[in-house]
Amino acid sequence: AQTVTQSQPEMSVQEAETVTLSCTYDTSESNYYLFWYKQPPSRQMILVIRQEAYKQQNATENRFSVNFQKAAKSFSLKISDSQLGDTAMYFCAFMSPSYDKVIFGPGTSLSVIP
Amino acid sequence: DAGVTQSPTHLIKTRGQQVTLRCSPKSGHDTVSWYQQALGQGPQFIFQYYEEEERQRGNFPDRFSGHQFPNYSSELNVNALLLGDSALYLCASSRRQYEQYFGPGTRLTVT
């Protein structure tokens, strides 16, 4: 069974600084998808970034980028130039194409400090 | 383009009652998944519907059931409510194997 672990329950960062959120996962599959979702206090789950396991190149979306290490089963999220609106819960998630269900980690609460 | 919508926003029920939650998927999406998110935790997969049939199910009892309609909208039904069913219920839609888009959720409180 697949599992997703986020070892940092809470983190904080100064506005305009860079922060990295950690995620590790366990699977025996070779092809899968990884995601980072953001859930602000409004509770709307928002897709931040997506990575296909067969792609070696790390995904990037504006200020958000990932460090995907397939052999280590690690998938960290880097947020550059942090903004107050980045304050939210961040969930790392795994999806096997053969199952379609998304398995979430326990989340990291990120606070951006002015 | 409307995103995923859910109704109602909030709901308060008493132990033993039954509840129905509703979800309309994003335009162009044919698959609906339901998740339960307890306070301070990540979402847990309940089940997924595709072509009006339950395609996958997580580790939830039979008290949790669902339905998908021909227009791809979906309902989640929970019978014999327990206090532990209090949670945020999230609906997500997708087109087959692509990423899932989530609705705003329904906050269920069981007293």
For the ranges A13-17, A28-32, A100-104, the lowest mean pLDDT is seen at A100-104
Residue B48 to residue A102, Cβ atoms within 8 A: no
Q: Is B60 on the interface with A (CB under 8 A)?
A: no
Residue A102 to residue B31, Cβ atoms within 8 A: no
pLDDT tens-digit map of A52-108:
998 888 999 999 999 999 999 999 999 999 999 999 999 999 998 776 678 999 999
Mutate: best of A101, A104, A109, partner B, most B CBs <10 A: A101
Q: How far is A114 from chain B (nearest CA, A)?
A: 24
Of chain A, the end-to-end C-alpha distance in Å amounts to 41
Q: Residue B21 and residue A112: Cα distance in Å, rounded?
A: 34
pLDDT tens-digit map of B44-89:
999 999 989 998 899 999 999 999 999 999 999 999 999 999 999 9
For residue A9, say if its preceding peptide bond is cis, omega within 30 degrees of 0: no
